[in-house]
Amino acid sequence: MKSFTIIVPFEEGLHARPASQLVKVCQSAKSDIKIIKGTTEVNPKSILGILTLGAKYNDTLTMEISGEDEDEVVQKINNFFEV
């Protein structure tokens, strides 16, 4: 299992457009992925899940990835959050 933190770099937060783009990145993964903000844990393969986080600019999110392609998924998610 890989675990790392991300700071939301988008000034508007993780709203509908970047959330839908993140879903596209995560849906192709075979690994199980979780995004955690505080006590809320969601599956980023669901746009509704991502939006329920209410992640704003500079919020810290913890990503947990476990599965056969976890290294590749970590790289894809890191690339997504680089602005």
* Residue 25 half-sphere exposure toward CB, CA atoms < 13 A: 21
Catalytic residue positions, numbered:
15
Q: Where are the alpha helices (DSSP H) in the chain?
A: 16-27, 47-53, 70-81
* Residue 30 half-sphere exposure toward CB, CA atoms < 13 A: 6
Q: What CA–CA distance (Å, rounded) separates 22 from 11? A: 16
